[in-house]
């Protein structure tokens, strides 16, 4: 069975992935573990495609995946899914609070722009959120009507270290803030945002 075969070799297979690919693999495996059956099947399919792209062409696992799937697609029965979820729940590298995982999913539901829609995508203070398909998106509240990064947002993102901890920064922007008596992302031009962000650092 392909699922059991891959699970037995998962640590070895993941050693073939560079850091960005491993981060994507973690997200996909977390979706397999936590999402509904249909979404889990899609995530499993994407994970298999990720392995095929990164394994050497003559690697036996890559050949096994191709041989077993053929044109049938990555079938994943309820029993297979249960086996996967039980195994993934015991992997230390995939230890995650389900509430945190769901919070990240919710963040990606906010209005966003992809890299091609952002006027200056290389600005270092931009907040980018990685998606499960390997792309990244920028929450739309960061920009003015002309598509430029708002000065207040630039300053706050620098304080929050958005480049190093994008999820933490996004959580701050989209969470309730007592100092502002509201959600920071709803008033991205508020001058008090910088003070509120600095207060967070003082509390750490």
What pLDDT digit, counting tens, does each position of 175-196 carry?
888 888 888 888 999 989 999 8
What pLDDT digit, counting tens, does each position of 113-126 carry?
888 889 888 999 99
Residues 6 or more apart whose Cβ sits within 8 Å of residue 32: 40, 43, 44, 47, 81, 84, 85, 88
**Residue 109, SS3 per DSSP:** coil
pLDDT at position 194 is 92
Comparing CA positions, the residue from 159, 109, 118, 168 lying closest to residue 138 is 118
Q: Is the pLDDT of residue 148 over 70?
A: yes
What pLDDT digit, counting tens, does each position of 73-104 carry?
556 778 888 888 887 777 766 655 555 566 56
Could you tell me the pTM of the whole model?
A: 0.55
């Amino acid at each position: 069975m392909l699922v059991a075969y891959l699970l037995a070799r998962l640590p070895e297979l993941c050693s073939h992935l560079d850091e960005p690919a491993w981060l994507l693999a973690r997200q996909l495996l977390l979706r397999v573990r936590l999402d509904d059956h249909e979404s889990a099947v899609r995530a499993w399919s994407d994970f298999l495609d990720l392995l095929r792209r990164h394994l050497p062409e003559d690697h036996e696992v890559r050949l096994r995946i191709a041989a077993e799937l053929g044109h049938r697609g990555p079938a994943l029965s309820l029993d297979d899914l249960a086996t996967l979820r039980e195994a993934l729940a015991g992997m230390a590298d995939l230890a995650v609070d389900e509430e945190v995982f769901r919070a990240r999913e919710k963040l990606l539901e906010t209005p966003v722009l992809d890299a091609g829609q952002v006027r200056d995508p290389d600005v270092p203070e931009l907040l980018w959120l990685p998606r499960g398909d390997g792309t990244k998106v920028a929450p739309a509240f960061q920009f003015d009507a002309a598509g430029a990064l708002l000065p207040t947002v630039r300053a706050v993102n620098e304080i929050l270290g958005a480049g190093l901890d994008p999820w933490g920064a996004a959580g701050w922007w989209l969470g309730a803030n007592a100092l502002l008596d509201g959600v920071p992302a709803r008033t991205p031009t508020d001058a008090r945002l910088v003070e509120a962000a600095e207060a967070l650092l003082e509390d750490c």
